[in-house]
Structure 1
């Protein structure tokens, strides 16, 4: 692949500190009570207790990087002990360094808006990401911000023909394509796992999610003719080689589930 590809996924929890500010709740109210109170009021107002993007706090960012030669990495940004600002900062530093094609599943509607708001809150710079052609003229015609540019390829959005009613869940499409799908947990279990201090489990889950997305991206590139059948098989084999070299249990589980 001539242009580096960076597939990414984030995991989030309710921004309890932000909720306290907005709802003027004291520290005497427990975190659980804060989340439950706001959830109830959102259900009453909207019919859903899912928090909007500006009230999500990032606890994990996982990536697959496919660069020149045989370079392929899959990892979670930063360490389990790092705060949100450091995770967001490192992610955008990676975008500045590689200027990659960003790939996501539902990134346009969720992951990137969350990253935008958290970068704004924490004062994180992201020059290359926000370039619309002022510095790099190529970005005028293909940038990360436009919904219809492929410098950020939101697979869910593209495959749905940019029709929201045709959006499909990552897990279901992955399984239909013979991939493992979600392993370990799903998004609804991240907040309870975070409260139990299981940040490594969240990061592992995020990594397998991003692996599913990367493998779907390879299939998409083959479908649109950007990868020949032979090139596609080589890319798949390279990822299988990566998996074979991993010792972490979540990668072994992923490999075993990928027939």
Structure 2
């Protein structure tokens, strides 16, 4: 696969809390273990917000799934990084190395600007990875890769559908996937990742991450119809080709994710005349 063939990288990140960092930063002098610090912070978050969500600044990536797309939006490949070890520092290095290797394709995410990319940016900072092409802060504002309106560098579908925060995208990726017949959330969501990791369910986390990338991909395709980059017939033909890809991957039995996704697959039905 040549670099010129990859135009988009659709990706998703699953992460776990760095309990040692939480202990040092939030509870200095209390001598809390990593587990104790995390539990205390989660309790505080539940009391304050109703959720045990830990901010991205305290998170480590333990699963990154990436789909490579051609310029005509066709799915070429979907992989998870650093399998089967799933080491945060290796995942981070491979992610940014891959982006460079393929000629800095456009990132496609759902809420990647608010979560996934900050996790990977801070991980690069932590591990001493140089990213001048991404942190091109001396370029003109609208040419900077991290500029929220630079859709050549990054298409965040939550920004697209919320008009960059002007409206609430209630229901999120799950809703958008369901609107076009795709599985969406099927029993697992990001709030369960920490517990799954702690109980050794790393493969299941990566399967979930693959499915999130597939949902993001199909929502991206429909967004291209919305923006006039694809006709509806073109989109449906690409969706069919992607379905065939998933069938082939499911037959290899390398990951349960593809079979699971196909079992929950639904075709989009146009409204009756």
Q: TM above 0.5, one fold?
A: yes
The answer to whether the 8 Å contact 2:135/2:146 transfers is yes
Using a 3 Å threshold, how does the CA distance of structure 1 residues 171 and 233 change in structure 2: closer, same or farther? same
Match of 1:97 in 2: 101
- Greater Cα shift, 46-55 or 94-103: 46-55
The answer to whether the 8 Å contact 1:9/1:206 transfers is yes
Match of 2:12 in 1: 9
Whole-Å separation in 2 of the counterparts to 1:71 and 1:251: 14
* Number of residue-to-residue matches in the alignment: 254
Give the superposition deviation at 1:185: 1.2
Runs of at least 5 residues in structure 1 that lack an aligned partner in the other structure? none
Using a 3 Å threshold, how does the CA distance of structure 1 residues 25 and 45 change in structure 2: closer, same or farther? farther
Match of 2:271 in 1: none
Match of 2:235 in 1: 232
1:180-199 matches, within 5 Å, as 180-199=183-202
The alignment partner of 1:129 has SS state of coil
Partner residue of 1:161 out of 160, 163, 167: 163
Give the superposition deviation at 1:115: 1.3
Give the superposition deviation at 1:142: 4.3
Runs of at least 5 residues in structure 2 that lack an aligned partner in the other structure? 267-273
Using a 3 Å threshold, how does the CA distance of structure 1 residues 58 and 3 change in structure 2: closer, same or farther? closer
Whole-Å separation in 1 of the counterparts to 2:79 and 2:122: 23
What's the TM-score, normalizing by structure 2? 0.84
The alignment partner of 2:134 has SS state of helix
Give the superposition deviation at 1:63: 1.0
Whole-Å separation in 2 of the counterparts to 1:164 and 1:115: 26
1:89-132, CA deviations, whole angstroms, 9 ceiling, x for partnerless residues? 11111111121110000111111111111111111222332235
1:152-203, CA deviations, whole angstroms, 9 ceiling, x for partnerless residues? 0110111111126512321122112211112351111101100011111100
The answer to whether the 8 Å contact 2:23/2:34 transfers is no
Match of 2:28 in 1: 24
Whole-Å separation in 2 of the counterparts to 1:114 and 1:30: 23
Match of 2:261 in 1: 254
Over aligned residues, Cα RMSD in angstroms? 2.5
- Greater Cα shift, 156-165 or 204-213: 156-165
Partner residue of 1:67 out of 67, 70, 77: 70
Partner residue of 1:41 out of 40, 44, 51: 44
Whole-Å separation in 2 of the counterparts to 1:108 and 1:255: 29
Using a 3 Å threshold, how does the CA distance of structure 1 residues 166 and 115 change in structure 2: closer, same or farther? same
